[in-house]
Structure 1
């Protein structure tokens, strides 16, 4: 209990709030060509040294550590960090960070990563903690904001890696031939062919409402339908629900076409009504193949409660109200195990390769970075980030955190583990907690 007693004393006897304010001012004060501004900065820096010195003197042998903790973390963040240090007894040695709606949040930070968050990331970098940015964005997009936000010296240090397009590739500057690894080179040809066919047909075969209400995103191994309406609006929810049912049915037909022994009943595509009805459900199912669509609906509904809920609400669950994949042919089920379908209410319906996912990309990034025994902090908000969190949890290789607006399944996982949930746009809260963890775990 000595560390807890010392931490209580730190926040009771010293003005940690004032110390943090001075530390933030000194760290984040913009460089200005002004003698007056420089004087303010120098005065704050001198007072910061004084405040830190008082703590160093009061805690012989550990004063520098406690001064660092008080200068970076609130009382609650420090005690949460100490709880994590006590529970895991090891420091975080890698950061795995989603970007959109995690490091930055369009509704809170004008879609920019806050300066405070960027500065904290540079502090972890200076402490020797590698950073893995793990995103669905293209490599060029990520390189642009990383260079501007962290600076080229950090990005090119050999300690920063980018897992881009949700696992299609890994970019780690400063590692010679290992700088860029294209993970899709190792993807099985049968999976490549299925995605090729799916992408070719996804818009041309779409019911009218889906075709008019969605646009296509992703890459060769990620087929994502996004709404042509404001994300989260009633229209967006409705069209993404339609798109989900349509994608499940189309995937069933594409997979059945490529699997020996799978011979689902199909209807002629010409049977679709002349009005191009796009209400999802049985209209698209009849066009694309009733049996094949039932296989994929049952398979993914039995694995994802959100998909199950959408299908159940629309009366589209095969066999009634309980999903059952028992009738899915083994060959089809084996193939579907390699493909994932994800649903984000009012935001996206997507089909992705499980072999080109964020966990595979993170594992490859760790190999290049030389992180042999990872204990990572994973920050994310979506189901693709959840896969990384689960991958880490299965290996006792880290902790997970999420913004409070994250997917329900993500929040369930995070709250069950360590309850590291932070407000939108405030990833710095968790970074400060982990900063405290890393400093306190070394204190005897």
Structure 2
């Protein structure tokens, strides 16, 4: 209990709030060219040093407690200590989703907040590698990470980007392992289906989908994005229609791929009807995902008689290797179930040489949940999510450590990890 007693004393007896405000000012508002601004910055910096010195001189391991006081409010500090007491391990990797996790369109103008970028830099400088884990394209993610964190950090050798939800891993500074194209290891049948779906995704689309959507520039996944503001009524409508179209195209492509393997097929009796693949795909993915089932129902599509059980085994077997993802008003996507964020994170940890991971995983969607479940099952980390995350993600997080943070406040959770590692130093 000694650490808890010391922490109570720290927050009860010292002006921690002022100390933290001064630290934030010094970190986030570096001195400008103005003489007045520079004088003010120096005054705050001197006062920060004085407050930290008071803490250092009043505690055993005073340097650590001064750092805790400067980075975390009372709730964050006690959460960090609770986590360290429970797991007795420091965080040795960050696995971070970007959209609606590090940044939030509703609160941060779709930019990663400066406070988040700063604490990420500090955690990296303390020796913890960072894995950015996203469904976005590599070039898009690499561009804004360089802009936010700087070219030197991104190319330090301790940052990895898992892109397209696990289809590839980019880890600068690692020679032949710098870029690993995991999708190249998939079977030829799956790759052939994806080539067909990509070719037809817009060319064979209904007029409203062709005019209202564009293809995200992925290396492998096929992702329809709206030409309207994300989350708007128009975006929701066109993505719902785009989802139905992608499912139908996927069904036809799969049937073409396994032609000849379907028991009872006889082209002379009309069994090569191209619409049957669409019907089978609708039945399969409606059974697999309640959100997809809801979109199909709202589009007036009745399930095939017999549902998913009516899908022939060769077709169902290939469907079982291919994912259809739906993000309301944002995207409809076809991806690989053999390559997900877990596969990408495992590859990134291998390249980064993190042999015994204990990671903080932060995310908001079903693809992030798979990583959270993986680290939970392997005793390889903890999970955190924003309060607007999907219901399944929130349920998982609340059932474990209740690490839920407010929209746009990812820095709070990152500070918890930073302070947890400070407590680990006391050992």
Shared fold per TM-score greater than 0.5: yes
| Secondary structure, counterpart of 1:212 in structure 2 | helix
| Secondary structure, counterpart of 2:382 in structure 1 | strand
Distance 1:148 1:311 in 2: 40
> 1:264–1:35: structure 2 CA closer, same or farther, 3 Å change rule?
farther
Q: Is the contact between residue 169 and residue 180 of structure 2 (CA under 8 Å) also seen in structure 1? A: yes
Distance 1:393 1:317 in 2: 38
For residue 90 of structure 1, report the CA deviation from its aligned partner.
Answer: 1.0
> 1:342–1:265: structure 2 CA closer, same or farther, 3 Å change rule?
farther
1:306 to 2:305 alignment: no
Distance 1:226 1:139 in 2: 16
TM-score (norm. length: structure 1): 0.87
For residue 242 of structure 1, report the CA deviation from its aligned partner.
Answer: 2.3
> 1:309–1:84: structure 2 CA closer, same or farther, 3 Å change rule?
farther
Distance 1:301 1:390 in 2: 23
For residue 314 of structure 1, report the CA deviation from its aligned partner.
Answer: 4.4
> 1:314–1:4: structure 2 CA closer, same or farther, 3 Å change rule?
farther
Give 1:191-230 correspondences, 5 Å limit: 191-230=190-229
For residue 336 of structure 1, report the CA deviation from its aligned partner.
Answer: 1.7
Q: Is the contact between residue 137 and residue 218 of structure 2 (CA under 8 Å) also seen in structure 1? A: no
Distance 1:98 1:130 in 2: 15
| Secondary structure, counterpart of 1:90 in structure 2 | coil
Q: Which residue of 2 aligns with 1:119?
A: 118
Give 1:358-437 correspondences, 5 Å limit: 358-437=341-420
Q: Is the contact between residue 228 and residue 234 of structure 2 (CA under 8 Å) also seen in structure 1? A: yes
Q: Which residue of 2 aligns with 1:281?
A: none
| Secondary structure, counterpart of 1:109 in structure 2 | coil
Q: Is the contact between residue 168 and residue 180 of structure 2 (CA under 8 Å) also seen in structure 1? A: yes
Distance 2:212 2:274 in 1: 19
For residue 313 of structure 1, report the CA deviation from its aligned partner.
Answer: 4.2
1:297 to 2:282 alignment: yes
Question: How many equivalent residue pairs?
Answer: 422
Q: Is the contact between residue 265 and residue 289 of structure 1 (CA under 8 Å) also seen in structure 2? A: no
The partner residue of 1:330 within 313, 317, 330 is: 313
| Secondary structure, counterpart of 1:355 in structure 2 | coil
> 1:330–1:88: structure 2 CA closer, same or farther, 3 Å change rule?
farther
Distance 1:288 1:424 in 2: 45
Q: Which residue of 1 aligns with 2:8?
A: 8
Per-residue CA deviation, residues 368-426 of structure 1 (Å, 9 max, x unaligned), is 11011111112222333223222322322112222233333333333333232222322
For residue 63 of structure 1, report the CA deviation from its aligned partner.
Answer: 2.2
TM-score (norm. length: structure 2): 0.90
> 1:212–1:154: structure 2 CA closer, same or farther, 3 Å change rule?
closer
For residue 220 of structure 1, report the CA deviation from its aligned partner.
Answer: 4.7
Q: Which residue of 2 aligns with 1:343?
A: 326
For residue 74 of structure 1, report the CA deviation from its aligned partner.
Answer: 1.0
> 1:64–1:310: structure 2 CA closer, same or farther, 3 Å change rule?
same
For residue 264 of structure 1, report the CA deviation from its aligned partner.
Answer: 9.5
| Secondary structure, counterpart of 2:215 in structure 1 | strand
Q: Which residue of 1 aligns with 2:253?
A: 254
Q: Is the contact between residue 210 and residue 243 of structure 1 (CA under 8 Å) also seen in structure 2? A: yes
Q: Which residue of 1 aligns with 2:92?
A: 93
> 1:33–1:310: structure 2 CA closer, same or farther, 3 Å change rule?
same
Per-residue CA deviation, residues 286-322 of structure 1 (Å, 9 max, x unaligned), is 98513x33432332233322223333444535268xx
Distance 2:293 2:265 in 1: 23
Distance 2:419 2:345 in 1: 24
> 1:100–1:50: structure 2 CA closer, same or farther, 3 Å change rule?
same
> 1:389–1:443: structure 2 CA closer, same or farther, 3 Å change rule?
same
Give 1:261-300 correspondences, 5 Å limit: 261-262=261-262, 288-290=274-276, 292-300=277-285
Q: Is the contact between residue 216 and residue 225 of structure 1 (CA under 8 Å) also seen in structure 2? A: yes
| Secondary structure, counterpart of 1:377 in structure 2 | strand
Segments of 5+ residues of structure 1 without an aligned counterpart are 268-285
